[in-house]
A and B are shown apart, each in its own frame.
Chain A
Amino acid sequence: MPDTRTRLRAPVLAGGLLVLVAVLLCAVLAGASDLGWQRVLAEIWAQVTGGQSPLSAREAAIVWQLRVPRVLLASIVGAALAVSGATFQGVFRNPLADPYLLGAAAGAGLAATLVVVLAPAVTGWVVGPLPPAAFAGALGGVGLSWLVGRSAGGSTSTLLLAGVAVASFLTAIQTFAQQLDTQTIRQVYTWMLGGLNVTGWRQVAIAVPYVAVAAVVLCLSARLLDVLALGDAEAASLGLRPGRIRLVVLAAASLATAAAVSVSGLIGFVGIVVPHVVRMLAGSSYRVVIPLSLIGGAAFLVLADQLARTIMPGELPLGVVTAFTGAPFFAWILRSSRRRLS
């Protein structure tokens, strides 16, 4: 009998990785400043082989200090948000779930506002106290939602409602804090629109460990997410503890989200759309959706960031670009898959 399981098959994985590498390369070769892709390619080759590069020290700095870390960070953030979104969709059995559902965005926004309001003259607020504050805020928001949800029963629906309540509460405090010092509104708003503008290798180093740990945990838990889709009662009857699995998996996903938010602000759309696209193209089992969301999210955000920094002389906020490019693509996939189904 032919193997009709949904599994991550080697050709699909290899193909996905190949696409990702190609996208990364394109993003490094073309950027906001016109260096000429042949010259950049020559520079990369020179670094690898130790030969002579056509770029000046300043141009080389553009490539290695600015472009490469930014592209890498875009892939890390995209992977984190997409896999986190897939996880949330699996835990809540809701196709509209996104990584910010349990108050991660509200918590990070509040923390960012407090930093900007209370410590405005701190040197380098964007690369200094803001990222760790946003990280802590995101985790704090999720933690609070978890506690509130658990005290009300701990089922997925109460958890969801708790998340909504906590997010509203934190957003209200944030708005109040912003009113205390209205000068800060523009700075916080810019951060909240999401962007990879102020990045270097340091941001990459900050984000990688958390996202890597979360990715490993979630890939290993993919099968359990499939079982969780049966509902708490059936999952328990199959010998699992749904509550405990939810805790571990949500913790990992929130860790990835917090790391992403701390370096890039609030970038929406990636967490909802990418898992759906993966499902339409490769199947609904989380064994496939989790790993391919990592790859798909990375590629998607790298492309979106590429667009954000090259399409106009100024920078477009990344969150705007993801919505603009993601929505029509999603609609097209929806239409073509509907024709396939019916």
Chain B
Amino acid sequence: MFRRFAPLLAVLLVLTGCATRPAEENSAAPPESEGTFPITVAAPGAPAVTLEAQPRRIVSLSPSATETLFALGAGPQVVAVDTASTYPPEAPHSQLSGLSPDPEAIAAYRPDLVVVYADTGGLTDALAKIGAKTLVMPDAKTLDDAYAQFVALGRATGHQAEGESLARQARDDIDKIVADTPKPARPLSYYWELDQTYYSVTSATFVGQVLTRFGLTNIADGTDPHASGGYPQLSAERILRANPDLIFLADSKCCGQNGQTVAARPGWNTLTAVQHNHVIALDDDIASRWSPRIVELVRTVADAVTHAGA
């Protein structure tokens, strides 16, 4: 999908390059570099970071950020990604942990920019000592947050135009998909499964908001969608009682769940979603990240809604 935009990007870059004042030309700089540094960047809900120069050695400890970085074309600048960053396959894998980052292990890669999704335990200070900036890209709460992160990462890596274009394209694609999906005759309900012990998401979460755009109601909402931080644990009884029209499985890769395993659960074969085969096994990663692949998720949901509403 992104390769389609490469010629467009190139044109945009050339135009932008002509428009700005001549920046410090680095003879070793790749052609995509822009002279917009130093620059101050902040993701929504995260502290601002000032980058003096275009980062050349980026370490990404956030799987969503990794995907976005490579989508922006900043791949060559990335020297290491954490163990959870499984996409794209060509990303430089390492043993770094995103959940409990070790400044010493990170320092071995001599980064100048480290992207994380949370700063716990004074990571920013520790990394500053080795000369690296820390950019926090927290969990996106809304689609707008996600788009803003694309833009922020673009600016931070010297791919400002790509960032804005990614954001704009994602927004346009999603809007179009939603608009093109035929509205079902009556509002459909859904159950989103995070794992086999019936942990779910409410409509107050990022994923929940995406699905709300299709007019779907979430059976996990109950009286307060913000209860349990948006991630309540349901019981089989409640799910059966609610009889959701759609069942989304976000645990197909981690826990091997699919239509057959769900139908084999005690009592679940009485659900209409199981009987009419409206159980959708999603790719766990796509379902839990806020990278440009969110468009694929939206597409999958749209197909499911169309199929179920018919």
Q: Do A and B come from one complex?
A: yes
Interface residue? A48 (CB, 8 A): no
Interface residue? B122 (CB, 8 A): no
| Interchain CB contact (< 8 A) of B266 among A69, A314, A315 | A69
| Interchain CB contact (< 8 A) of A200 among B84, B243, B266, B270 | B266
Interface residue? B198 (CB, 8 A): yes
Task: Check if A32 sits within 8 Å of B238, measured CB to CB.
Answer: yes
Determine, out of A141-149, A190-198, A217-225, A294-302, the stretch whose residues face the partner at the interface. A190-198
Q: How large is the interface on A (under 10, 10 to 19, 20 to 34, 35 or more residues)?
A: 35 or more
Task: Check if B236 sits within 8 Å of A66, measured CB to CB.
Answer: yes
Once A126-B196, A183-B84 are accepted as A-B contacts, the answer to whether A61 and B234 lie under 8 Å apart by CB is: no
Interface residue? A123 (CB, 8 A): yes
The total of chain B residues at the interface (CB under 8 A) is 37
- Which residues of A are found within 8 Å of B189, using beta-carbon distances? none
Bound CA span A200–B269, Å? 14
Least distance between A182 CB and chain B CB atoms (Å): 4
B252's closest neighbor in chain A, by CB?
A121
Task: Check if B198 sits within 8 Å of A58, measured CB to CB.
Answer: no
| Interchain CB contact (< 8 A) of A195 among B84, B197, B254, B266 | B197
Bound CA span A127–B271, Å? 20
169-206 of chain A: CB within 8 A of chain B: 179, 182-183, 185, 187, 190-191, 195, 197-198, 200-202
A121's closest neighbor in chain B, by CB?
B256
Bound CA span A83–B156, Å? 63
Interface residue? A65 (CB, 8 A): yes
Task: Check if A123 sits within 8 Å of B261, measured CB to CB.
Answer: yes
Least distance between B260 CB and chain A CB atoms (Å): 9
Interface residue? B213 (CB, 8 A): no
B196's closest neighbor in chain A, by CB?
A126
| Interchain CB contact (< 8 A) of A122 among B100, B241, B256 | B256
Bound CA span A32–B234, Å? 9
Task: Check if B266 sits within 8 Å of A124, measured CB to CB.
Answer: no
Task: Check if A315 sits within 8 Å of B234, measured CB to CB.
Answer: yes
Bits for B60-88, please: 1 = Cβ < 8 Å to A, else 0. Answer: 00000000000000000000000010000
Interface residue? B47 (CB, 8 A): no
Task: Check if B254 sits within 8 Å of A66, measured CB to CB.
Answer: no
120-145 of chain A: CB within 8 A of chain B: 120-127
Task: Check if B255 sits within 8 Å of A190, measured CB to CB.
Answer: no
Task: Check if A62 sits within 8 Å of B256, measured CB to CB.
Answer: no
Interface residue? A57 (CB, 8 A): yes
Task: Check if B266 sits within 8 Å of A65, measured CB to CB.
Answer: yes
Given contacts A124-B255, A314-B233, 4 further A-B contacts (CB under 8 A): A123-B256, A126-B197, A126-B255, A179-B100
